[in-house]
Structure 1
Amino acid sequence: MNDHLTLLRRLRAASPLDEVPTREALSCHLAARVDEVGAPAFTEFAYLQMVAAKTWGAERTAHFARVLRDARVSPKAQNTCPWQTAERLAGSLPVEWRTPLLEQIAISRKGQAVLGRTIWSADYTKAVLAALGRWAAYCVSRRQTTLPTATSLHAYGRHLVWPDADGEPTTTGTAANYLQRIMAGLGVATRGRFRSKACDFVVADWRERSRMEGTSTKTGSQLVGASSLYGFGFRLMAEANERPVRGLEAAKIFRNGLIFAVGAALPERARALTWLEFDRSLRLIDGTHIHIDLPGEALKYPEARKAQEGYDVIFENLGLAEALHAYRTDFRPLFDDGLHLFPSVHGKLGAITPAHLGRLTGDLTEREFGVRIPIHRLRDNVATEASENLIGGAYAGKTLLRHVDEAITRRHYDHSEGLKAACDFDDFIEKRRKVSAELIL
């Protein structure tokens, strides 16, 4: 009889009063079985947890799942430095552009203001360089100069929206973004020697076209209400708690529920949500209060402001605080020993990426509500419901989302107003969840 069958017989014969096999003993058993039979050992071990859970319950046998994950999943590979990626992109551009663009990368990488230079974020730098690369390739194919005229820049915009037969069309908004990035990149690449009011007018015209057409990825059907999304998150967490076996699947479901609950109570962008870490950017003060302290690097701020500014708020939310405490104690350790609030399933000690977060929330809401609502659209749901139900109306929604326009900047709203809006909204959605009310839009 092999080791697997021996342990299986032992588990089947055990009583609730017997000692549960320790994590160390289970790790040794699984390692030996993997050496002996290979990948089938993982399926065997998952079955052992199911048998053990019938005797000792899901909570006392949760460590089986961690043993299995540690054996199956390797540490997540570190992301490539975005500035190194930017340098490689710059190296593929026309020779005469490379030196000034590499200088811009070096200045932006330091993050220190330089007179006459605008600091770019790593993501924006890569976007500009990619746009310049596509523009340069287009010019070569058309046998035209890489310094645009109004006519050639407008023609390129039309090419992006209505490409050749083998091309992939973009939206008007995406084309407008490409044109703006080309002009910004050329301004640096030519050390400011290239300026064209006519080209600037073309960019502004495409921007206006985009504004008039609206975004093709946003529809009214995606506005199901923030309280509905918040409640959906708690239903997912309840589903995880009810599972007979507390394995990685249950931990993943609980994590997904928290994504919606936190995303509705803290309507930040995907990048900011992936920065949340226990004891760092997210602290559980007590049974009701949550402290969020996000650095400027995690937020959509101009690069020059990121080193000095962040988002620091303490709010009260009993239901969410209880869920976070339960998650940290019972489900989060099943992923790894890390602190990321939303860990990756595919690699240990790493957070879910912003792009994956958007796809995941879109998939889950399509299944639940019949319409895709990616994480960024949670912000629209928050703004809509806050505008219609909070005393501050549209002002409260704008404060919750920390949108900044020229009028708001002039008025210099202080943190107390933002905190009050956040607390009012948390109270509102928590009460709506308890009475199972739904917003009719």
Structure 2
Amino acid sequence: MKANVHIRLLADIRSAAPGDPIPGRAELSAHLQQRMGEVGDKALADFAHVQRVAAEMWGAERTAHFGQVLRSHRVTPKAPRKTAWTRAEEALRHLPAPWRQQVAEHIALSRQGKRVKGRTLWSAAYTQSVISALKKWEDYCASNGLSLTPTGAALDAFGHHVTTQTGAERPVTTSSAADYMERILSGMARAQPGFSSAACDFVVADWRDRASAEGPGTKTGAQLVGASTIYDLGFQHICEARARPMRGLHAALQFRNGLILAIGTALPQRARALSCLAFDSTLTLPDHETIRVCIPASMLKLPEDRKQGAPFERTFRNAPLAAALLEYRRSFRPIFDDGRALFPSVKSQNAAISEAQIGRLTGNMTEKAFGVRIPIHRLRDNAATEASETLAGGGRAATSLLGHNSPATVARHYDHSEGVGAAQEFGSYLKSCQGACVELDI
């Protein structure tokens, strides 16, 4: 009768002493490969049990490589994620046939990233938004027997239509309606060369003014729990990951997600920028307390013709966060794969999670902890509010922290100071930011 290699491995581990050698990664990988050939996917659950037994004998830290082996056999290669430009080009099929060539030509021009006199380049994300808005406009015109060429009256009626639609998953705000209109006009200028309408421009400006008067409809005061509170929640997840009895994928995920909150607060950048963070390239750790970030302009919210420009650079000191990053890289990050992405994907090896997934995870964690979803972008509001209220530089400090040129932009969109208490640790981080154009002393 053929010996059961699973039972034999378990017996060897249980009979071992704490000082005995631990099976290495190559040996374990060969074992799991053989076992999968014998019993299929059942071997994965069996191996997870082997890791639990090994962790009881040698500890979670010394048996973390069991989790790496299990992960490498669980994940199968997947097709590369489509780029934003590819998705934009594929979306062209949703437009009326006469518009496609003109819009496609502008997409090709925008992808080159070179300035052309009289042409405003589009980003991939903005291109998708324009195509989506044009599709909404086409559907509205078809339903109401209107010409596809916008008029002021028709565009205004469209705005009222989208903001009063029933059955929508999320209500469309006045600001969003103005965005739709602006993108429709931007798209029409390309789809129908020579199109312009002072009446339409007036309607968009009017809706913008109304949106400014109403304030941001998707932001609520309940989402302002304080940047330090969100930062602490991140470290709560990190501590819970450390305390898990076994270093498997669940522990690695919890540590990663905790870092999303901690980094997202300490470095209040948008999800797109956070999604590109990777060890030894966009994020480096020069010493045990210093964190250096360099995000390419292509990942920042900038006009397309500026996305070949200077990167966003920031160096700051935060010993607990630097220590967490070093520990993550050493003990938790390798469980995903051998890549360097700071926030790796669960579904694909050597790939980072998308900016949309960063947003979903942030919302899920904050909703569970605080009873309200706080999107990743709303972390910037919390950071700006706390900086404005606690630092001597006030709004100027928040402007520097968020990377804005205009204090008015921060005041209008991010700063909601109304008594939110600040933590000394967060203030110390702000004070340590290098390359800031304002004094950040507390």
**Cα pair 2:358 2:376 within 8 Å, conserved:** yes
**Cα pair 2:363 2:373 within 8 Å, conserved:** yes
Q: Deviations over 1:129-158 (max 9, x none)?
A: 121122122212222210011111111112
Shift in Å, 1:164:
6.2
In the alignment, does 2:13 pair up with 1:24? no
Matched residue, 1:249: 250
Q: Superposed, which structure 2 residues align to 1:330-369 within 5 Å?
A: 330-369=331-370
Shift in Å, 1:353:
1.1
Match of 1:107 among 106, 109, 134: 109
Judge which range, 251-260 or 398-407, deviates more.
Answer: 398-407
**Cα pair 2:252 2:336 within 8 Å, conserved:** yes
Q: 1:167 to 1:380 in 2, by over 3 A?
A: closer
Shift in Å, 1:269:
0.6
**Cα pair 2:388 2:397 within 8 Å, conserved:** yes
Shift in Å, 1:40:
1.6
Q: Deviations over 1:288-346 (max 9, x none)?
A: 21111111011111111110121122222211111111111111111111111111122
Q: Deviations over 1:31-80 (max 9, x none)?
A: 12222222221111101100011111111111110111000112453121
Matched residue, 2:271: 270
Matched residue, 1:182: 184
Unaligned stretches of 5+ residues in structure 2 = 411-423, 433-442
- Distance in 2 between residues matched to 1:164 and 1:389, nearest whole Å: 43
Q: Deviations over 1:75-133 (max 9, x none)?
A: 45312133233233334422332222121111101001111111110110111012112
- Distance in 2 between residues matched to 1:393 and 1:260, nearest whole Å: 23
Report the secondary structure of 1:375's partner residue: coil
- After the TM superposition, list the runs of 4 or more consecutive aligned residues in structure 1 that deviate by more than 3 angstroms: 164-169, 404-409, 423-426, 428-431
Report the secondary structure of 2:218's partner residue: coil
Q: Deviations over 1:356-412 (max 9, x none)?
A: 111111111122222221211111111111111111011111211122349789xxx
Matched residue, 1:138: 140
Q: Superposed, which structure 2 residues align to 1:19-418 within 5 Å?
A: 19-163=21-165, 169-191=171-193, 193-405=194-406
Report the secondary structure of 1:324's partner residue: helix
Q: 1:256 to 1:125 in 2, by over 3 A?
A: same
Equivalent position amino acid for 1:252 in 2? L
The normalised TM-score by structure 2 is 0.89
Shift in Å, 1:163:
2.6
- Distance in 2 between residues matched to 1:381 and 1:267, nearest whole Å: 9
Report the secondary structure of 1:205's partner residue: helix
Q: 1:168 to 1:217 in 2, by over 3 A?
A: closer
Report the secondary structure of 1:312's partner residue: strand
Report the secondary structure of 2:81's partner residue: coil
- Distance in 1 between residues matched to 2:267 and 2:168, nearest whole Å: 42
- Distance in 1 between residues matched to 2:426 and 2:167, nearest whole Å: 49
Matched residue, 2:440: none
Unaligned stretches of 5+ residues in structure 1 = 410-422, 432-441
**Cα pair 1:75 1:349 within 8 Å, conserved:** no
- Distance in 2 between residues matched to 1:187 and 1:274, nearest whole Å: 33
RMSD: 2.2
Shift in Å, 1:223:
1.1
**Cα pair 2:228 2:426 within 8 Å, conserved:** no
Q: Deviations over 1:152-191 (max 9, x none)?
A: 1111112212236689752222221111100111111122
Judge which range, 32-41 or 334-343, deviates more.
Answer: 32-41
Matched residue, 1:420: none
- Distance in 1 between residues matched to 2:52 and 2:301, nearest whole Å: 45
Report the secondary structure of 2:313's partner residue: strand
Equivalent position amino acid for 2:282 in 1? S
Shift in Å, 1:430:
11
Match of 1:5 among 1, 4, 7: 7
**Cα pair 2:345 2:353 within 8 Å, conserved:** yes
The total of aligned residue pairs comes to 417
Q: Deviations over 1:262-287 (max 9, x none)?
A: 11111101110111011100111111
**Cα pair 1:226 1:429 within 8 Å, conserved:** no
**Cα pair 2:275 2:343 within 8 Å, conserved:** yes
